[in-house]
């Protein structure tokens, strides 16, 4: 199964990351359909190199016509965000049924602080770092899509808080 292979490889290559998006919602206990795997990575060069190694092991390739190593360049990520309105660096697997892996290139949270607040969920024998409910609310408030607004309601219920 692709998900298990992906998370096992990220662990093997010591990638610092958090699961976000629809998959994170499922792992937090909110049933939600999703067609991709959204991740937030620590964006330091060393961690991105670890991620790229994992991606190569999994034979992932960029969906956009860019080089895989372009992810390492903060200036390119800034240009993608500003000039192309790109939110995520999408990668696909040669397995046709596998979901797209989306790496958020400019998450609206302090990634290092959020990594210290992750909530772990067990999937098979893997301990997956899921972005905390509080940080997921911040992330989804910035996105503002209809699905994100619905997710925020569920996240507030999980946290026992009210919408601000």
Show the domain range for 71: 2-156
Burial class of residue 74 (count of CB atoms within 10 Å of its CB; 0-12, 13-18, 19+): middle
Looking at the domain assignment, is residue 162 inside a domain?
no
Proportion of the chain above pLDDT 90, given as a percent: 70
Q: Over the stretch 9-31, which tens digit does the pLDDT of each residue have? A: 999 999 999 999 999 999 998 88
Q: How many domains does the chain have?
A: 1
Looking at the domain assignment, is residue 104 inside a domain?
yes
Q: Over the stretch 137-157, which tens digit does the pLDDT of each residue have? A: 888 888 777 787 888 888 888
Asked whether 105 and 69 are in contact (CB, 8 A), the reply is: no
């Amino acid at each position: 199964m692709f998900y298990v292979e992906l998370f096992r490889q990220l662990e093997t290559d010591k990638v610092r990351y958090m699961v976000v998006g629809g998959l994170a919602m499922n792992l937090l206990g909110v049933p939600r359909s999703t067609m991709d795997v959204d991740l937030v990575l620590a964006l330091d060069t060393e961690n991105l190199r670890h991620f790229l190694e994992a991606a190569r092991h999994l034979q992932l390739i960029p969906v956009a016509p860019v080089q895989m190593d372009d992810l390492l360049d903060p200036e390119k990520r800034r240009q993608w965000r500003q000039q192309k309105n790109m939110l995520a660096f999408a990668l696909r697997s040669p397995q046709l049924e596998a979901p797209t892996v989306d790496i958020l290139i400019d998450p609206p949270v302090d990634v290092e602080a959020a990594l210290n607040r992750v909530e772990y969920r067990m999937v098979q024998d893997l301990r997956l770092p899921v972005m905390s409910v509080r940080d997921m609310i911040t992330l989804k408030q910035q996105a503002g899509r209809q699905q994100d607004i619905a997710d925020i309601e569920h996240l507030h219920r999980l946290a026992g808080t009210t919408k601000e």
